[in-house]
C-alpha cells in the first residue's frame, strides 16, 4: 500500500549469516520501531532483512520490502511466505520490470532505494564485505543518518558494523540513539539498564513441570518464539499455550514481536 511511504521510516539491514545476538537485536529494534509508527524498510533478503520485516509485521506495524528483482519473482524462494505477508500488509517496491530475475548488480542498485526511503539506517551485523555496508554508504551519500550495533571484536559478522562506528557512525546502544531522529513519534521503550536484574522472580509452586522447564530457558534478555522452539524442541503452538500460563502467573512478560522474557 502506497500509504506506507508517508510515515517516517528506518532502514534495518545486516548480514544474511548472523548470530543469535544479532537476531535478537534486529527483532527487538524492528518491533519497537513499528510499535510507535515508524515504518521498517529492508531488502527482503534472508537473514536479518527477513527478521526485520517479520518482526515489524508481528508487532502490528508497517514494513516496506525493496526488491532486487521484478515483482512476481520471489527471491530467495525460502521467503515466499514473508513475500506474501509483506505484499498483503505492507509494500513491495522495485524499480525492476515485472518478472525480471536478480543478477549480480541488482542488490547494490537496490540498496540506494532502501537508504533513500529512510530517515536513518541501522546496520545490525555486517561482515567486512557485507552488502549492508553498501547501504550505509549510500545513506551517507544521501545525507541520511547511519547507526550501527556494536558487537564483539572477535565476531566476523560484527567487523563491518564496528568499523562503521570507528569511522563515525552513531553506536546503537539504546532507544534514544534512534529516537532522536524521530521526534514526532512516541517514546520507544527498549530494555533499560535498571531491568538488568530481571529474571530472578521466584517460580510459583503451582507451575507444572513443563512450565518450569520453559521458564528456565528465559532470562532478562528477550527471546523470540522461534528461538524458544529451537531450544525446547517443542512445537510453537504448545509453547504459546505454556507461555500464556506463565504470563498469567506473572512469571514472564511478552514484548512486541513475539519476544518473551522473565520478570
Read off the pTM.
0.72
Q: What share of the chain is helix, strand, coil (3-state, %, to 5)?
A: 45, 15, 45
What are the strands, taking DSSP E only, across 62-186? 63-66, 91-93, 120-123, 145-148, 170-171
Task: Indicate the SS3 state at residue 116.
Answer: helix
Name the pairing type of β-strands 259-262 and 252-255. Answer: antiparallel
Give all domains of the chain, ordered by start, each with its CATH number.
2-179 (3.40.50.450), 193-262 (1.10.10.10)
Predicted local confidence at residue 146, as pLDDT: 97
Q: ∠ CA(66), CA(71), CA(75), 5° rounding?
A: 70
pLDDT tens per residue, range 26-64: 998 998 888 888 999 999 998 999 999 999 998 889 999
Name the pairing type of β-strands 120-123 and 145-148. Answer: parallel
Predicted local confidence at residue 4, as pLDDT: 64
Task: Indicate the SS3 state at residue 32.
Answer: helix
pLDDT tens per residue, range 164-185: 999 999 999 887 788 788 887 7
pLDDT tens per residue, range 226-255: 888 888 888 888 899 999 889 888 888 887
Q: Which helix (H) or strand (E) covers residue 9, if one does?
A: strand 9-13
Task: Please name every residue paired with 105 in a beta bridge, in sequence order, or none if there are none.
Answer: none
* Separation of alpha carbons 52 and 125, rounded Å: 12
* Separation of alpha carbons 59 and 28, rounded Å: 10
Closest of 31, 36, 43, 39 to residue 10, by C-alpha: 39
Amino acid at each position: 500500500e502506497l500509504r506506507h511511504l508517508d510515515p517516517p521510516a528506518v532502514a534495518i539491514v545486516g548480514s544474511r549469516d548472523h548470530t543469535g545476538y544479532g537476531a535478537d537485536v534486529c527483532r527487538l529494534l524492528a518491533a519497537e520501531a513499528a510499535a510507535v509508527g515508524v515504518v521498517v524498510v529492508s531488502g527482503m533478503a534472508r537473514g536479518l532483512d527477513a527478521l526485520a520485516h517479520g518482526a515489524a509485521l508481528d508487532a502490528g506495524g508497517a514494513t516496506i520490502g525493496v526488491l532486487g528483482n521484478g515483482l512476481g519473482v520471489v527471491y530467495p524462494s525460502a521467503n515466499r511466505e514473508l513475500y506474501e505477508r509483506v505484499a498483503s500488509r505492507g509494500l513491495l517496491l522495485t524499480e525492476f520490470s515485472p518478472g525480471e530475475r536478480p543478477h549480480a548488480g541488482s542488490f547494490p542498485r537496490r540498496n540506494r532505494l532502501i537508504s533513500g526511503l529512510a530517515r536513518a539506517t541501522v546496520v545490525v551485523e555486517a561482515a567486512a564485505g557485507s552488502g549492508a555496508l553498501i547501504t550505509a554508504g549510500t545513506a551517507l551519500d544521501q545525507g541520511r543518518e547511519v547507526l550501527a550495533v556494536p558487537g564483539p571484536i572477535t565476531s566476523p559478522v560484527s567487523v563491518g558494523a564496528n568499523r562503521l562506528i570507528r569511522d563515525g557512525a552513531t553506536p546503537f546502544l539504546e532507544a534514544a540513539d534512534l529516537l532522536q531522529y524521530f521526534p514526532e513519534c512516541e517514546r520507544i521503550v527498549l530494555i533499560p539498564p535498571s531491568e538488568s536484574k530481571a529474571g530472578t522472580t521466584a517460580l510459583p509452586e503451582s507451575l507444572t513441570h513443563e512450565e518450569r522447564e520453559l521458564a528456565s530457558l528465559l532470562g532478562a534478555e528477550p527471546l523470540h518464539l522461534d528461538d524458544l522452539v529451537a531450544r525446547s524442541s517443542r512445537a510453537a503452538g504448545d509453547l504459546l499455550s505454556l507461555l500464556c500460563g506463565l504470563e498469567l502467573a506473572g512469571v514472564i512478560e511478552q514484548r512486541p514481536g513475539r519476544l518473551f522474557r522473565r520478570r
